Amino acid sequence: QKEVEQDPGPLSVPEGAIVSLNCTYSNSAFQYFMWYRQYSRKGPELLMYTYSSGNKEDGRFTAQVDKSSKYISLFIRDSQPSDSATYLCAMSVGPTGANNLFFGTGTRLTVIP
Amino acid sequence: GAVVSQHPSRVICKSGTSVKIECRSLDFQATTMFWYRQFPKQSLMLMATSNEGSKATYEQGVEKDKFLINHASLTLSTLTVTSAHPEDSSFYICSARDQRSYGYTFGSGTRLTVV
């Protein structure tokens, strides 16, 4: 079983739709949860960073962590064509040490104008 | 915010030659940098941890002699793919962590094609 599972998609939605992206994980010790956005042929950029359970909102983006279910989500409201990218979830036990950072496979999202 | 610059963005080389990829932290010092490899439609795979002033730490299955890492200063790490073969063709990405912020900052990646 992989440490982090993420549906690779692809996911296509019309402009303005609400997008829900999800990851599940198996290691209950994960405490730090991140969402990265990666455009084609580019490196990932950090979108959201959360610690432990709860919600975090930043503009049109909301990250949710449910540690009891080992499930994290990223919601995108009023999706735009510029949101078309691959979204990667990542998580770690501690705040540092990339050798303990586990990535999902990424979900490819296309927002259709 | 933190910026990591990676060069070149694309490189095509002949089989048997070596290619050097640079990763620079532009506005912060990074004692540790990380090198990843990403195949199409797959996630990031950590290859090695680059430590300033000391030897890199390689992940299991990564050939140290093929992927040479040098971290000569607090802002620069290099990855050299030696005697490249077509199977080394991939997308290579570096990252570093700015202590002033959360998460890791990634470079823009280098697409290596070995012909």
Q: Which of A23, A48, A101, A108 to mutate to test the interface with B (most CBs of B within 10 A)?
A: A101
pLDDT confidence of residue B60: 92
Work out the pLDDT band at A41, boundaries 50, 70, 90. confident
**In which element (H, E) is residue B81 found?**
strand B76-81
Q: Which two tokens stand for residue A110?
A: 């296309």
Contact B44 A103 (CB under 8 A): yes
Q: Give the whole-angstrom CA distance, residue A90 versus residue B104.
A: 10
Q: Which of B7, B51, B104, B110 to mutate to test the interface with A (most CBs of A within 10 A)?
A: B104
Q: Per residue in A13-25, pLDDT tens?
A: 999 999 999 999 9
pLDDT confidence of residue A67: 94
Work out the pLDDT band at B72, boundaries 50, 70, 90. confident
Q: Which two tokens stand for residue B74?
A: 């607090």
Q: Give the whole-angstrom CA distance, residue A89 versus residue B77.
A: 26
Contact B103 A34 (CB under 8 A): yes
Under 8 Å between Cβ of A23 and A4:
yes
Smallest Cβ–Cβ distance between A43 and the set B49, B93, B97 belongs to B93
Q: Per residue in B78-102, pLDDT tens?
A: 999 999 999 999 999 999 988 777 7
CA angle B91, B69, B94 (to 5 degrees): 40
Under 8 Å between Cβ of A101 and A2:
no
Q: Nearest C-alpha of chain B: how many angstroms from A93?
A: 13
